[in-house]
Amino acid sequence: MIDLTNQTWQVDQRADRMGVRLQGPRLDYQGPGLISSGIPLGAVQVPPDGQPIVLLQDRQTIGGYPRIGALTPLAVARLAQCAPGQSLRLYTIGQEAARQQTLYWLQRLQQRL
């Protein structure tokens, strides 16, 4: 399994509305070939150069590189605010914690509307 959480990553200059490329240690993903499938917001892809890409709002809808995980909606919103060159760390949370975090975040957003 590839561990994204034991490194510090930097937002690449090539970040845009399609995705945020992260610079850091090269990830050598030797997984099986992929069957094309839908790509969720926050999916983490590993292209041949080994530098992960977190897919954002204007991502492609299908296909792409191997996916190794996904960020929660709150983590995606925070990542989208990062400037090129900014350092960040990712961490793992369980499914229930991710659900609770997302519900809390959505409630806070609704309160501000």
Q: How confident is the model at residue 35 (pLDDT cuts 50, 70, 90)?
A: confident
98 within some domain: yes
74 within some domain: yes
Instruction: Quote the pLDDT of residue 64.
Output: 77
**The whole model's pTM is what?**
0.88
2 within some domain: no
SS3 content of the chain, % helix, strand, coil (to 5): 25, 20, 60
Distance separating alpha carbons of residues 103 and 97, to the nearest angstrom: 10
Q: With CA atoms as reference, report the closest residue to 78 among 67, 69, 68, 89.
A: 89
CA distances from 110 to 25, 56, 62, 63, 105 (A): 38, 21, 30, 33, 9
CATH number at residue 73: 2.40.100.10
Domain range holding 105? Answer: 9-112
Question: pLDDT for 45-88, tens place per residue?
Answer: 999 899 999 999 999 988 778 888 999 999 999 999 999 999 99
